[in-house]
Amino acid sequence: MTDLVLQALSELLPFEVRRGELDRGGRALRWVEAGYGHPAVVFEAGLGEPGSLAFAAVMRATAARTRLIAYDRAGLGTSDPVSKLTLDVQIDDLAAVAAQAGEGPCVLAGHSWGGLLVLLTAARHPELIAGLVLIDPADEIYWAGLPQEIHRESTDQAALFLRLHAEGMLHETIRSSFLPYVESLTDSDRLREQLLQAYVSCYAKLSQVAMLQGETSLFMESVSLISQIREAAPLPDVPAVVLSATTGTTPQIRAKWTEVHADLAASLPRATHTVLADTHHAINEVRPSAIADAIVQVLAELKPGRLRRAVRWPPHLRRCAARPVPMSSAADRRLSVSGL
Protein backbone atom coordinates (compact mmCIF):
# COMPACT_ATOMS: atom_id res chain seq x y z
CA MET A 1 0.00 0.00 0.00
CA THR A 2 1.29 3.45 -0.87
CA ASP A 3 2.39 5.48 2.15
CA LEU A 4 0.64 8.72 1.24
CA VAL A 5 1.82 10.49 4.41
CA LEU A 6 5.50 9.73 3.82
CA GLN A 7 5.16 10.52 0.13
CA ALA A 8 3.59 13.92 0.77
CA LEU A 9 6.02 14.90 3.50
CA SER A 10 9.00 13.82 1.39
CA GLU A 11 7.77 16.23 -1.28
CA LEU A 12 7.06 19.02 1.19
CA LEU A 13 10.11 19.00 3.45
CA PRO A 14 13.54 19.98 2.08
CA PHE A 15 15.38 17.07 3.72
CA GLU A 16 15.15 13.31 4.07
CA VAL A 17 11.99 12.05 5.74
CA ARG A 18 12.10 8.52 7.11
CA ARG A 19 9.46 6.09 8.31
CA GLY A 20 9.84 4.41 11.70
CA GLU A 21 7.90 1.61 13.37
CA LEU A 22 7.78 0.04 16.82
CA ASP A 23 6.15 -3.30 17.66
CA ARG A 24 3.90 -3.02 20.71
CA GLY A 25 2.85 -6.59 21.33
CA GLY A 26 1.69 -7.30 17.81
CA ARG A 27 0.46 -3.82 16.93
CA ALA A 28 2.65 -1.25 15.24
CA LEU A 29 3.21 2.35 16.30
CA ARG A 30 4.44 4.32 13.31
CA TRP A 31 6.04 7.71 12.90
CA VAL A 32 7.88 9.95 10.48
CA GLU A 33 11.25 11.36 11.40
CA ALA A 34 13.80 13.78 10.05
CA GLY A 35 17.11 15.25 11.09
CA TYR A 36 19.85 13.73 13.23
CA GLY A 37 21.30 14.21 16.68
CA HIS A 38 20.40 14.06 20.37
CA PRO A 39 18.31 14.71 22.25
CA ALA A 40 15.53 13.79 19.86
CA VAL A 41 12.25 15.71 19.89
CA VAL A 42 9.14 13.53 20.05
CA PHE A 43 5.88 15.22 19.01
CA GLU A 44 2.49 14.30 20.50
CA ALA A 45 -0.55 15.67 18.65
CA GLY A 46 -3.96 16.84 19.82
CA LEU A 47 -7.01 14.68 20.32
CA GLY A 48 -7.88 12.52 17.32
CA GLU A 49 -5.20 14.00 15.06
CA PRO A 50 -2.40 12.14 13.21
CA GLY A 51 0.85 13.44 14.64
CA SER A 52 2.78 12.51 11.52
CA LEU A 53 1.05 15.36 9.66
CA ALA A 54 0.20 17.78 12.47
CA PHE A 55 3.77 19.00 12.94
CA ALA A 56 4.93 19.24 9.33
CA ALA A 57 5.52 23.00 9.51
CA VAL A 58 7.35 22.71 12.83
CA MET A 59 9.57 19.93 11.49
CA ARG A 60 10.48 22.04 8.49
CA ALA A 61 11.65 24.80 10.82
CA THR A 62 13.64 22.64 13.25
CA ALA A 63 15.03 19.57 11.42
CA ALA A 64 18.46 21.21 11.10
CA ARG A 65 18.74 21.25 14.91
CA THR A 66 18.27 17.62 15.93
CA ARG A 67 16.32 14.44 15.25
CA LEU A 68 12.56 14.91 15.09
CA ILE A 69 9.97 12.15 15.57
CA ALA A 70 6.25 12.77 14.87
CA TYR A 71 4.26 9.67 15.71
CA ASP A 72 0.65 8.57 15.40
CA ARG A 73 -0.99 7.30 18.57
CA ALA A 74 -2.57 3.85 18.48
CA GLY A 75 -5.47 3.78 16.04
CA LEU A 76 -4.65 7.16 14.51
CA GLY A 77 -3.07 7.85 11.15
CA THR A 78 -0.76 5.02 10.17
CA SER A 79 -0.55 3.29 13.58
CA ASP A 80 -2.46 0.09 14.31
CA PRO A 81 -5.49 0.25 16.61
CA VAL A 82 -5.40 -1.07 20.16
CA SER A 83 -7.94 -3.59 21.39
CA LYS A 84 -8.76 -1.54 24.49
CA LEU A 85 -8.00 2.16 24.69
CA THR A 86 -6.85 3.31 28.12
CA LEU A 87 -4.88 6.20 29.52
CA ASP A 88 -2.13 3.78 30.56
CA VAL A 89 -1.84 2.55 26.96
CA GLN A 90 -1.34 6.07 25.66
CA ILE A 91 1.20 6.98 28.34
CA ASP A 92 3.09 3.71 27.90
CA ASP A 93 3.13 4.06 24.12
CA LEU A 94 4.61 7.54 24.30
CA ALA A 95 7.19 6.34 26.82
CA ALA A 96 8.10 3.44 24.51
CA VAL A 97 8.58 5.76 21.54
CA ALA A 98 10.74 8.08 23.64
CA ALA A 99 12.85 5.23 25.04
CA GLN A 100 13.28 3.12 21.92
CA ALA A 101 12.86 5.44 18.97
CA GLY A 102 14.30 8.47 20.75
CA GLU A 103 17.25 6.43 22.04
CA GLY A 104 17.50 8.13 25.39
CA PRO A 105 16.13 11.19 27.19
CA CYS A 106 14.05 13.25 24.74
CA VAL A 107 12.38 16.59 24.46
CA LEU A 108 8.65 15.87 24.44
CA ALA A 109 6.51 18.41 22.59
CA GLY A 110 2.76 17.98 23.02
CA HIS A 111 -0.24 19.92 21.78
CA SER A 112 -3.53 20.08 23.72
CA TRP A 113 -4.52 16.51 24.74
CA GLY A 114 -1.04 15.56 23.58
CA GLY A 115 0.37 18.17 25.97
CA LEU A 116 -1.42 16.54 28.89
CA LEU A 117 -0.15 13.11 27.81
CA VAL A 118 3.37 14.54 27.70
CA LEU A 119 3.00 15.82 31.27
CA LEU A 120 1.71 12.47 32.52
CA THR A 121 4.48 10.60 30.74
CA ALA A 122 7.05 12.97 32.21
CA ALA A 123 5.62 12.37 35.68
CA ARG A 124 5.76 8.59 35.35
CA HIS A 125 9.01 8.38 33.40
CA PRO A 126 11.21 11.34 34.39
CA GLU A 127 14.33 9.42 33.32
CA LEU A 128 13.14 9.71 29.70
CA ILE A 129 12.72 13.48 29.73
CA ALA A 130 15.37 16.00 28.67
CA GLY A 131 12.97 18.89 28.12
CA LEU A 132 9.31 19.80 27.61
CA VAL A 133 7.40 21.95 25.12
CA LEU A 134 3.74 22.20 26.13
CA ILE A 135 1.54 23.69 23.42
CA ASP A 136 -1.75 24.99 24.83
CA PRO A 137 -1.92 21.81 26.95
CA ALA A 138 -5.27 20.45 28.10
CA ASP A 139 -6.13 20.22 31.78
CA GLU A 140 -8.38 17.52 33.20
CA ILE A 141 -9.87 19.42 36.14
CA TYR A 142 -10.49 22.46 34.02
CA TRP A 143 -12.16 20.29 31.37
CA ALA A 144 -14.36 18.54 33.93
CA GLY A 145 -15.73 21.87 35.09
CA LEU A 146 -16.95 22.94 31.67
CA PRO A 147 -20.70 23.29 31.10
CA GLN A 148 -22.34 20.08 29.94
CA GLU A 149 -23.31 21.62 26.61
CA ILE A 150 -19.64 21.90 25.69
CA HIS A 151 -19.09 18.26 26.59
CA ARG A 152 -22.09 17.36 24.42
CA GLU A 153 -20.63 19.39 21.57
CA SER A 154 -17.49 17.26 21.72
CA THR A 155 -19.36 13.97 21.70
CA ASP A 156 -21.70 15.22 18.96
CA GLN A 157 -18.69 16.10 16.81
CA ALA A 158 -17.32 12.59 17.18
CA ALA A 159 -20.72 11.07 16.34
CA LEU A 160 -20.97 13.30 13.27
CA PHE A 161 -17.64 12.04 11.98
CA LEU A 162 -18.77 8.44 12.40
CA ARG A 163 -22.01 9.16 10.54
CA LEU A 164 -20.22 10.94 7.69
CA HIS A 165 -17.81 8.03 7.41
CA ALA A 166 -20.69 5.56 7.20
CA GLU A 167 -22.25 7.68 4.44
CA GLY A 168 -18.97 7.90 2.52
CA MET A 169 -18.84 11.68 2.92
CA LEU A 170 -16.18 12.22 5.58
CA HIS A 171 -13.40 12.80 3.05
CA GLU A 172 -15.09 16.04 1.98
CA THR A 173 -15.10 17.33 5.56
CA ILE A 174 -11.47 16.32 6.08
CA ARG A 175 -10.36 18.08 2.91
CA SER A 176 -12.20 21.31 3.68
CA SER A 177 -11.12 21.30 7.32
CA PHE A 178 -7.41 20.93 6.66
CA LEU A 179 -7.30 22.96 3.44
CA PRO A 180 -6.29 26.26 5.15
CA TYR A 181 -3.38 24.54 6.88
CA VAL A 182 -2.31 22.77 3.70
CA GLU A 183 -2.47 26.04 1.79
CA SER A 184 -0.15 27.59 4.36
CA LEU A 185 2.40 24.83 3.79
CA THR A 186 2.92 25.19 0.05
CA ASP A 187 1.95 27.16 -3.06
CA SER A 188 2.03 24.05 -5.24
CA ASP A 189 -1.43 22.82 -6.23
CA ARG A 190 -0.01 19.37 -6.89
CA LEU A 191 1.58 19.13 -3.46
CA ARG A 192 -1.51 20.53 -1.76
CA GLU A 193 -3.51 17.73 -3.34
CA GLN A 194 -0.97 15.18 -2.11
CA LEU A 195 -1.20 16.51 1.43
CA LEU A 196 -5.00 16.47 1.38
CA GLN A 197 -4.99 12.89 0.14
CA ALA A 198 -2.61 12.03 2.96
CA TYR A 199 -5.01 13.54 5.49
CA VAL A 200 -7.95 11.68 3.97
CA SER A 201 -6.00 8.42 4.22
CA CYS A 202 -5.62 9.01 7.96
CA TYR A 203 -9.42 8.96 8.38
CA ALA A 204 -10.31 6.33 5.80
CA LYS A 205 -10.80 3.41 8.19
CA LEU A 206 -13.62 3.11 10.70
CA SER A 207 -11.07 2.40 13.43
CA GLN A 208 -9.30 5.70 12.68
CA VAL A 209 -12.52 7.73 12.86
CA ALA A 210 -13.68 5.89 15.99
CA MET A 211 -10.55 7.11 17.79
CA LEU A 212 -11.96 10.63 17.87
CA GLN A 213 -14.88 9.35 19.90
CA GLY A 214 -12.64 7.00 21.87
CA GLU A 215 -10.17 9.69 22.93
CA THR A 216 -12.95 12.14 23.77
CA SER A 217 -14.56 9.56 26.04
CA LEU A 218 -11.18 8.60 27.49
CA PHE A 219 -10.50 12.18 28.55
CA MET A 220 -13.92 12.50 30.16
CA GLU A 221 -13.55 9.21 32.03
CA SER A 222 -9.95 9.71 33.21
CA VAL A 223 -10.17 12.93 35.22
CA SER A 224 -9.68 11.13 38.55
CA LEU A 225 -6.81 8.96 37.29
CA ILE A 226 -5.03 11.92 35.72
CA SER A 227 -5.26 13.81 39.00
CA GLN A 228 -3.90 10.77 40.87
CA ILE A 229 -0.89 10.63 38.56
CA ARG A 230 -0.27 14.33 39.11
CA GLU A 231 -0.36 13.91 42.88
CA ALA A 232 1.68 10.72 43.08
CA ALA A 233 4.53 11.40 40.69
CA PRO A 234 7.31 13.98 40.46
CA LEU A 235 7.89 16.23 37.49
CA PRO A 236 11.40 16.29 36.05
CA ASP A 237 13.44 19.42 36.62
CA VAL A 238 14.23 20.13 32.97
CA PRO A 239 14.05 23.10 30.59
CA ALA A 240 10.43 23.70 29.59
CA VAL A 241 8.30 26.13 27.62
CA VAL A 242 4.53 26.47 27.97
CA LEU A 243 2.71 28.15 25.08
CA SER A 244 -0.80 29.59 25.43
CA ALA A 245 -3.23 30.61 22.70
CA THR A 246 -5.45 33.65 23.16
CA THR A 247 -8.55 33.21 20.96
CA GLY A 248 -11.14 30.58 20.12
CA THR A 249 -13.46 30.85 23.11
CA THR A 250 -14.79 33.53 25.43
CA PRO A 251 -12.20 35.89 26.95
CA GLN A 252 -13.20 34.73 30.44
CA ILE A 253 -12.69 31.04 29.73
CA ARG A 254 -9.52 31.70 27.77
CA ALA A 255 -8.10 33.77 30.64
CA LYS A 256 -8.74 30.95 33.11
CA TRP A 257 -7.11 28.40 30.82
CA THR A 258 -4.07 30.63 30.43
CA GLU A 259 -3.94 31.00 34.21
CA VAL A 260 -3.65 27.21 34.50
CA HIS A 261 -0.73 27.35 32.04
CA ALA A 262 0.91 30.11 34.07
CA ASP A 263 0.56 28.00 37.22
CA LEU A 264 2.10 25.03 35.43
CA ALA A 265 5.07 27.08 34.21
CA ALA A 266 5.56 28.54 37.68
CA SER A 267 5.72 25.02 39.13
CA LEU A 268 8.74 24.11 37.00
CA PRO A 269 12.08 25.66 38.04
CA ARG A 270 13.32 26.08 34.46
CA ALA A 271 10.11 26.88 32.59
CA THR A 272 8.96 29.93 30.71
CA HIS A 273 5.38 30.79 29.78
CA THR A 274 4.66 32.51 26.47
CA VAL A 275 1.22 33.88 25.60
CA LEU A 276 0.75 34.16 21.84
CA ALA A 277 -1.38 37.15 20.86
CA ASP A 278 -4.12 36.70 18.25
CA THR A 279 -3.52 32.95 18.08
CA HIS A 280 -6.12 30.19 18.33
CA HIS A 281 -5.75 26.71 19.73
CA ALA A 282 -4.22 25.11 16.62
CA ILE A 283 -0.83 26.69 17.31
CA ASN A 284 0.88 23.93 15.32
CA GLU A 285 -0.94 25.19 12.23
CA VAL A 286 -1.06 28.96 12.67
CA ARG A 287 2.12 29.66 14.67
CA PRO A 288 4.57 26.83 13.95
CA SER A 289 7.45 29.27 14.29
CA ALA A 290 6.54 29.81 17.95
CA ILE A 291 6.81 26.08 18.59
CA ALA A 292 10.08 25.94 16.67
CA ASP A 293 11.45 28.81 18.77
CA ALA A 294 10.40 27.01 21.96
CA ILE A 295 12.17 23.82 20.85
CA VAL A 296 15.32 25.75 19.99
CA GLN A 297 15.17 27.46 23.40
CA VAL A 298 14.90 24.14 25.25
CA LEU A 299 17.67 22.55 23.19
CA ALA A 300 19.94 25.52 23.85
CA GLU A 301 19.52 25.07 27.61
CA LEU A 302 20.38 21.39 27.62
CA LYS A 303 23.76 20.04 28.62
CA PRO A 304 24.41 16.65 27.00
CA GLY A 305 24.33 13.69 29.35
CA ARG A 306 23.01 15.60 32.33
CA LEU A 307 19.52 15.62 33.85
CA ARG A 308 18.45 17.53 36.92
CA ARG A 309 16.55 16.40 40.00
CA ALA A 310 12.81 15.76 39.97
CA VAL A 311 10.40 18.21 41.57
CA ARG A 312 6.98 17.63 43.06
CA TRP A 313 3.76 18.91 41.60
CA PRO A 314 3.05 22.06 43.65
CA PRO A 315 -0.10 22.28 45.80
CA HIS A 316 -1.85 24.67 43.41
CA LEU A 317 -1.58 22.05 40.66
CA ARG A 318 -2.80 19.27 42.98
CA ARG A 319 -6.23 20.77 43.06
CA CYS A 320 -9.70 19.52 43.85
CA ALA A 321 -11.92 22.41 42.80
CA ALA A 322 -13.15 22.25 39.22
CA ARG A 323 -11.62 24.84 36.92
CA PRO A 324 -13.01 24.50 33.38
CA VAL A 325 -10.72 24.23 30.35
CA PRO A 326 -12.17 25.00 26.92
CA MET A 327 -12.12 23.29 23.61
CA SER A 328 -11.85 25.62 20.67
CA SER A 329 -15.01 26.61 18.86
CA ALA A 330 -15.81 25.04 15.52
CA ALA A 331 -15.35 28.34 13.71
CA ASP A 332 -12.00 28.96 15.35
CA ARG A 333 -10.50 25.50 14.97
CA ARG A 334 -12.18 24.57 11.64
CA LEU A 335 -11.97 20.93 12.73
CA SER A 336 -12.26 20.18 16.42
CA VAL A 337 -10.70 16.78 15.90
CA SER A 338 -7.57 18.33 17.46
CA GLY A 339 -9.41 20.71 19.77
CA LEU A 340 -7.89 18.85 22.70
- Stretch 212-222: mean pLDDT, rounded? 88
The per-residue pLDDT for range 55-100, each reduced to its tens digit, is: 999 999 998 889 999 999 999 999 999 999 999 999 999 999 999 8
Partners of 31 in beta bridges: 20, 71
Q: Among the listed ranges 145-149, 157-161, 278-282, 317-321, which one has the minimum average pLDDT value?
A: 317-321
pLDDT for the residue numbered 252:
84
pLDDT for the residue numbered 144:
75
Is the CB of residue 229 less than 8 Å from the CB of residue 222? no
The identity of residue 216, as a single letter, is T
Q: Would you place residue 242 in the very low, low, confident or very high pLDDT band (cuts 50, 70, 90)?
A: very high
Closest by CA position to 29, among listed 44, 13, 12: 44
Q: What is the set of domains in the chain, with CATH numbers?
A: 4-338 (3.40.50.1820)
Treating both helix axes as pointing N-terminal to C-terminal, what angle do 148-166 and 206-221 enclose, rounded to 10 degrees?
A: 170
